Amino acid sequence: MTRDAVLTIDHLDVVYETERPVHAVKDVSLTLAPGEILGLAGESGCGKTTLAYAITRLHKPPAKVASGSITFHDRDGSDIDLLGLSDERLRAVRWSKLSMVFQGAMNALNPVTTIRAQLDDALVEHRRGMPKKERRAIAEDALRRVGVDPARITAYPHELSGGMRQRVMIAMAMLLEPQVMIMDEPTTALDVVVQREILREIVRLRDELGFAVVFITHDLPLLLEISDRIAIMLRGEVVECATAARIQHEPQHPYTQRLLRSFPSLSGARGDFIRTGLGFEEVAS
pLDDT in tens, 131-175: 999 999 999 999 999 989 999 999 999 999 888 998 999 999 999
Mean pLDDT value of segment 54-59? 94
- Asked whether residue 269 is assigned to any structural domain, the reply reads no
Which residue from 140, 127, 126, 135 is spatially nearest to 94, judged by alpha carbons? 126
Kindly report, residue by residue over 225-253, the tens digit of the pLDDT. 899 999 999 999 999 999 999 999 999 99
Which residues, 6 or more positions from 285, have their beta carbon under 8 angstroms from its beta carbon?
A: 228, 243, 244, 245
Residue 10: what pLDDT? 98
Q: Is 87 inside a domain boundary? A: yes
Checking if the pLDDT of 199 tops 60, the result is yes
Q: Indicate the SS3 state at residue 6.
A: coil
| CA-only gyration radius of the chain, Å | 19
- The lowest-confidence range among 139-153, 185-199, 269-283 is 269-283
Residue 200 has phi, psi (to 5 degrees) of: -60, -40
CATH number at residue 187: 3.40.50.300
DSSP state, residue 150: G
Q: Is residue 34 part of a domain?
A: yes
Asked if the model's pLDDT at residue 279 lies above 60, the reply is no
Write down the pLDDT at residue 106. Answer: 63
pLDDT band at residue 283, thresholds of 50, 70 and 90?
very low
What mean pLDDT is predicted for residues 250-266? 86
Report if residue 268 sits inside a domain: no
Domain assignment present for 196: yes
d(CA 75, CA 53): 23
**What CA–CA distances, in Å, run from 105 to 40, 45, 113, 134, 169?**
20, 20, 14, 26, 7
Distance CA 273, CA 47 (A): 25
pLDDT at 188: 74
Strand 180-184 to strand 98-101: parallel, antiparallel, or no bridges (unpaired)?
A: parallel
Q: Is residue 142 part of a domain?
A: yes
Strand (E) or helix (H) holding 105: helix 105-108
Domain carrying residue 234 = 7-216+228-261
Q: What is the mean pLDDT of the chain?
A: 89
CA dihedral 71, 130, 138, 105 (to 10 degrees): 60
Q: Is 69 helix (H, G, I), strand (E, B) or coil?
A: strand
Number of H helices, E strands in the chain: 10, 10
Asked if the peptide bond before residue 62 counts as cis, ω within 30 degrees of 0, the response is yes
- 232/34 Cα distance (integer angstroms): 20
284 pLDDT above the threshold of 80: no
- Alpha-carbon distance of 99 to 102, in angstroms, equals 10
Number of domains in the chain: 1
260 or 11, higher pLDDT: 11
Tell me, what's the pLDDT at 261?
87
Cβ neighbours around 51 below 10 Å, total = 28
Give residue-wise pLDDT tens across range 100-129: 998 776 678 899 999 999 999 999 999 988
pTM: 0.88
Q: What is the number of alpha carbons within 13 Å of residue 142 lying toward its C-beta?
A: 26
Query: Which tops the pLDDT comparison, 266 or 96?
Result: 96
The angle, 0 to 180 degrees and rounded to 10, between the axes of the packed helices 132-145 and 115-126 is 120
Measured over the CA atoms of residue 164, residue 165, residue 168 and residue 173, the dihedral's sign is: negative
Residue 283, phi then psi, degrees to nearest 5: -70, 140
